[in-house]
Every structure is written in C-alpha cells, then in structure tokens.
Amino acid sequence: MDHIVGAPSACVAGNLFVQNAKASLASKMQNYDYLLSIAAVKRFQGSYQSTLVAQGAFSAYRTEVVREVGGWKNVLGEDIVLTYALLEQGLASSYEPAAVGYTNVPASCNALYNQRKRWGMGMLEGLSSVPPWKQGTVYSRYFTSVNLWVIYLDMAFLFGLIPGVLLALCGYYYLAGCLTLFTAAVGVVLFASTYLYQKKLNIPFQNDLLGFICFLFLFQAIQSTAALHGYLIWLLGGKGEWK
C-alpha cells in the first residue's frame, strides 16, 4: 500500500505465488511460470513504473483514478484494459515483490489452455483499447510495443524454434544452431537470477524437479499454442468465454 499512499502510483501489482503447486503436472509447471517468468517481467516493467498488468488476482488501485477512466470493462482482459487506461494518462503502474499473495491456478492442461487463450485475447483487447503510440510515457509506449512482438515470438517459437531444434537433432542446422544455444544460456542466467532474488525474500515456495523440467521443455509450447488460438478468435471477431 506504500505505492498507493506514499508514492504516486495509480496501481501496484503484487508478487503472486502458486497455492496448489502440487495439485497436478499442469500446476507444477505454472509454479515456475509465476515464480520465474511472470515475476521477472513485472519486476523489470515495474522498475520503470510501467507494469503492464496489475493483475486482478492480487493488486491495489487508487480508487479515484479508476473511476476517472471509467472503471472495469466487461471484457476478458479486464485487468489489462484497466491498467492500459491508467498508463495512457501518464500515471504510474508499479510492482511490489515483497507483497506476496497465493493463487490457485488451473489444475488441468485443458483449463490451463483455456486460461492462456483468454490471456492472449486480453492482451489484444488492451492493445486495441490503447495502442502503444497513445500511451502516456516513453516507458509505457516501449513496453506495450514489445507486447506487439509477443505475437511474433509465439509464432516463431511454434513454427521456427521447435522445427529448428528437431532438424538440428537430425543434423540440419537451418533454423537452430550456435545462436540458439547462446539464447538458451542467456535464458538460464535470467531464470537463475530471478530464482535467487525470489529466494532472498525468504518466502517459502514449493520446488519440484519434474515440474521444472516440464516448464522448460513443454510449457511454452502449450502457452504459445493457446495464445495463438486466442489471437485468431479475437481477430475473427470472436468474444471468447470463461470456462
């Protein structure tokens, strides 16, 4: 709450951990998604007062500015759209890693797929409501512009990296080679840095070797496929649904 009361933040996102981390393989993978990927992105964006999603599951908002931008919209990505609207006004959206909350994540691969499909649609809802060039600060314009590239990255992962690795294993280095290994090494360094930082907070979290291995090698394929499905539904005028 110091971000709201003692600093000029319009909203602040907390550090979410997975409550049901042992429920299934799907939840074990998400444990590391929240612990490493989501935390790293929010911490980086929050360093520039431009956290793109003050997630509805665990965030605080300044009431008067939420009212000024029209409140929560009836869309799939309501927290994304609201955060973008606040950033459009040049207001700060921050992140507090020491404020920890726990969330129950989808325990089946089907539920995970549907959630990430909604998140993909929600990202496009946010970009449609406030395009990057209409954002209020240079940092929010930059980070929302990066989000546009997420669509390309999802396609590159599914149609470039995965086939490239399979071809490389057969001795054909058309799409994957030394630079791919370098990129993987950089990813390991980033994950290790985030893991050590989270550990310094002295907040208990549940480790699972199988969950971590599946997170490294399977999770992104599920997420990118679901996200592309969501992008396609949104681009074709579909509304999506909660299920």
- pLDDT tens digits, one per residue of 57-105: 999 999 999 999 999 999 999 999 999 999 999 999 999 999 999 999 9
Tell me how far apart the alpha carbons of residues 131 and 117 are, in angstroms, rounded to a whole number: 21
Average pLDDT over residues 162-173: 92
The Cα angle at residue 231 between residues 227 and 235, in degrees rounded to 5: 170
Q: Amino acid identity, residue 171?
A: G
Return the domain boundaries, the chain.
Answer: 2-235
Q: What is the pLDDT of residues 119-157, one digit of tens each?
A: 999 999 999 999 999 999 999 999 999 999 999 999 999
Among all chains, which residue has been given the structure tokens 């699972």? 208
Is-above-0.75 flag for pTM? yes
The pLDDT of residue 51? 96
| 152 CB neighbour count, 10 Å cutoff | 10
